[in-house]
Amino acid sequence: MSTIFSLNYQKTNYFGLSGTVILSFALLLTGASQATYAQLKSGDIIVADSNAGTENAGSILQINALTGIRTSISDFGDASQGESGGRPVNLVIESAQNILVLDYQLNKLFRVDSSTGRRTLLSDFNDPAQGLVPDNAAGNAVLGIAIEKSGAILITAKGVGTNFRDAILRVDRVTGQRTMLSDFGDPTQGVVGGQCAFGLAVETSGKILATDCDNFGSASSGGLLFRIDPITGTRALLSDFGNAQQGGLTQSLGGIALESSGHILVVAPFAGTSGGGALYRVHPSNGQRTLLNDFGNALQGPTGALLRNVAVESADSILVVDQDVDDFMGPGVGAVFRINPLSGQRTILSDFGNVALGSGSMPFGLVVMPSSATNTVPFNVFSTELTLSKKNLHKDDWFVARGSFKIGGIPDGINPSSEDVAFSISDKNGYFFNQTLSSGSFKALGKSRYMYKAIKAKSGISMMTISATNVPGQYTYFALAKALILNREVAPSISVSLKIGNDEGSAKIGCRNLPRLLICRR
């Protein structure tokens, strides 16, 4: 059974199993580029380039949003910055300080310090002790990455699902432990997928969007855009790119981005005129697609060939990264395009064939530093305790959590009614509860108490309160929830995290078994 989305291209054997890499014309002229470490700022564009840097081992590059000039953040050929010799392929911003980077050759997830370029290993996808091990025979075991509001990391994983189909794994941001969220081969979780999972994005509601295709031919001949429940992992097919009634047809889909309106942008690398690629806008309610940009149509601007990712700037301008704009003819040289969201006209922001703009050759991953990016401020104090129903003793697994916290730093206060609130519980085996309540979910009850109450909730948090005390900056919280994925034995100790806006606390507490309950406290 062939895989529609593969990183192996015969033209230059960029991603062949032998590891041989033929240098691009630009890098032959300049030699191995020297790293120039850049400090990120709002609006900066960051790409993962698999063929830049020392010995062409790849780099994370910053692109100036006005000039298109590229500077290095982390050189994956420089051993002084961390483990070297890999190929960075995709990335996501974790905070103003940290970037999470997938390396397809090493099959690992790194955390990169944006100010120093230093890399630290977070999750080794070759190590079964950290969880499920994706199949990396074709060099594309892990391609898609996104981050939830709780800080948990989502990864597309090749071949770990039922019948060797793909899956989405959730990675603990502290331990790197991996757990299954959605098995694309499990029909009990929704419409089955195939072996093409790549695009990932998280909506403001916390629901997850993912692209895939059914290359097994059992459901659709086109690409698939799923919406996934972050608690249960169940999938709903939002847009079937094999269904002409929903819009243009194509099988291979790439990255996803969200516009401020909530509409979904999806790139399709082999769609459009002469297979030059296309950018679709998908309605978030009915999955209807409109063709926003045909990269094979020269009337809309410079043409493309191998679209990989898409991102949205603060003014809603759209960026698309093309790994190889010359359509496989000659040395591989990519580009980053900027697209007018109204007219669909495109221009080249950064031409990776222009050595005057800096090092680079094969851009793939693409993100934009958001204007609201801020460092997380830890609570000065966070205490918590939980009571959990024991497995198989109740109709629904549930828990009650309560505790107190004191905000740290130079406090600007908290306002749960206008900030995202995330609550998670995990143990050494990963998360067994993880939910984000989006801004506006809590209602203010006076000036110092906030309440969230779900209406007929079948899963997740049914009620939560956050209340100020008489001590400045100190609060208490209470949560009642159903933990639907508490389907295994809980470890002797667990970690509890609460995040309100950019204020966050986490505590590790021990658990004691009672006949019908599990009591966890310090």
Q: What single string gives the DSSP state of each residue in 477-515?
A: EEEEEE-TT--SPPPSEEEEEEEETTEEEEEEEEEEE-S
Q: Count the Cβ atoms, other than its own, within 10 Å of residue 220.
A: 18
Question: Mean of the pLDDT values across residues 200-221?
Answer: 83
Torsion angle of alpha carbons 364, 369, 370, 375, nearest 10°? 130
Sorted by where each begins, the domain ranges of the chain are 25-368, 377-521
Q: Looking at the domain 377-521, which fold is it? A: Immunoglobulin-like (2.60.40)
Query: Which stretch of DSSP H or E encloses residue 307?
Result: strand 307-312
Domain 25-368 has CATH 3.30.380.10: no
- What gap in Å lies between CA 319 and CA 46, rounded to an integer? 11
**30 DSSP assignment:** H
Q: What is the pTM of this model?
A: 0.70
CA-closest candidate to residue 208, choices 142, 161, 165, 156 = 156
Report which residue type is found at 224: L
Domain 25-368 and domain 377-521, same fold? Reply is no
Of all residues in the chain, the percent with pLDDT exceeding 90 is 52
Question: Mean of the pLDDT values across residues 184-209?
Answer: 92
Give Cβ neighbours of residue 427 (< 8 Å, ≥ 6 apart): 490, 491, 493, 494, 495
Grade residue 389 by pLDDT with cuts at 50, 70 and 90.
confident
Grade residue 14 by pLDDT with cuts at 50, 70 and 90.
very low
Torsion angle of alpha carbons 41, 256, 142, 429, nearest 10°? 80
Question: Mean of the pLDDT values across residues 106-135?
Answer: 93
Decide which of 95 and 166 is more confident: 166
Q: Of the spans 1-10, 114-123, 288-297, 498-507, which averages the highest pLDDT?
A: 288-297
CA-closest candidate to residue 260, choices 284, 236, 241, 278 = 284
Q: Residue 388: pLDDT above 90?
A: no
Residue 486 confidence (pLDDT): 52
- What gap in Å lies between CA 115 and CA 33, rounded to an integer? 18
Q: Residue 383: pLDDT above 70?
A: yes
CA-closest candidate to residue 385, choices 204, 235, 519 = 519
Residue 36 confidence (pLDDT): 44
Residue 489 confidence (pLDDT): 66
Q: Residue 22: pLDDT above 60?
A: no
Segment 55-80, tens digit of pLDDT: 889 999 999 888 999 999 999 999 99
User: Per DSSP, which regions of 41-166 are E strands?
Assistant: 45-49, 59-63, 70-75, 88-93, 98-103, 108-113, 119-124, 142-147, 153-157
Grade residue 375 by pLDDT with cuts at 50, 70 and 90.
low
Residue 300 confidence (pLDDT): 94
Grade residue 4 by pLDDT with cuts at 50, 70 and 90.
very low
CA angle 208, 199, 194 (to 5 degrees): 95
Least confident segment among 134-148, 372-386, 456-470: 372-386
**Which token pair is 490?**
């809980």
Output 299-303 pairs: Cβ under 8 A, ≥24 positions apart: 300/344, 300/345, 300/346, 301/337, 301/345, 301/346, 301/347, 301/348, 302/335, 302/337, 302/346, 302/347, 302/348, 303/276
DSSP string, 190-242: SS---S----EEE-TTS-EEEEEE-TTSSS-SSEEEEEE-TTT--EEEEEETT
Cα radius of gyration (the chain)? 23
Residue 368 confidence (pLDDT): 93
CB distance 196 to 167 below 8 Å: no
Q: Residue 9: pLDDT above 80?
A: no
Torsion angle of alpha carbons 267, 312, 431, 422, nearest 10°? -150
- What gap in Å lies between CA 299 and CA 364, rounded to an integer? 25
